[in-house]
Amino acid sequence: MHILMVLTSHAQLGDTGRATGFWLEEFAAPYYLFKDAGAQVTLASPRGGQPPLDPKSDDPAAQTEATRRFKDDDAAQAELAHTRLLGDVAESGFDAVFYPGGHGPLWDLAEDSTSIALIEAMLDAGKPVAAVCHAPAVLRHAKRRDGSSVVKGSKVTGFTNSEEQAAGLTDVVPFRVEDMLRAQGGDYSKLDDWQPHVVVDGRLVTGQNPASSAPAAAALLKLLS
């Protein structure tokens, strides 16, 4: 079982002058679920190397058992510091792909042609694609063979408009995940803000927010079993 995790390389939060990147919990919890299940995990990002960490996800209040485990794991930290260049990986080498969130993917992975082609190839090959929180943004331009959005008619979730408003970034982000998924024809659902919510439709797995990262990873493992 070989799982690819694709992280953002985007570090700037729009024009705010503040930093963004990937959300630590949304990487750490799935990473350890996959590892503990015996999966071989490969990390990749558009630019390769160390992906930028959203500093807010490193706040004490945002820490979980998985993030604390990561902080004590020198091998995992070294692996994260040397992500492979996304352009150097291919669908054929993996059984599934998982996209952690954070605001970064809204700017780079949502528009990245290599990532879009990877998602299309994975789904076309009947392999699961999972994305959590802001990472369902990566589905924005992915198409089926008939040219329709991979989201159209599919049950999906992702970071809600109200969660974005609570984060104070509604006017900063290039688009809102909930709005995009609905506009692409997705059958979008959500629970209350910050509550774990995961939707599985065929080979597509989506999670609403950081609390959904571990359940989304577990759902992906269930598909692979």
d(CA 120, CA 145): 8
The per-residue pLDDT for 26 is: 98
Q: What angle, rounded to 10 degrees, do the helices at 24-36 and 213-224 form?
A: 30
Which residue positions in the chain have pLDDT lower than 70?
Answer: none
Q: What is the pLDDT of residue 163?
A: 98
**Res 213: pLDDT:** 97
CATH number for the domain running over 2-224: 3.40.50.880
pLDDT at 92: 93
pLDDT of residue 218: 98
The whole-number pLDDT of residue 207 equals 98
Q: Which amino acid is at 85?
A: L
- CB hemisphere CA count around 196 (13 angstroms): 10
Distance, in Å, from the CA atom of 13 to the CA atom of 140, rounded to the nearest integer, reads 19
Domain residue ranges of the chain, discontinuous segments joined by +: 2-224
Q: At 123, is the secondary structure helix, strand, or coil?
A: helix
CA distances from 5 to 16, 22, 193, 223 (A): 28, 12, 25, 16
Q: Tens digits of per-residue pLDDT, 155-174?
A: 999 999 999 999 999 999 99
Contact 97, 3 (CB under 8 A): yes
Q: What is the pLDDT of residue 104?
A: 98
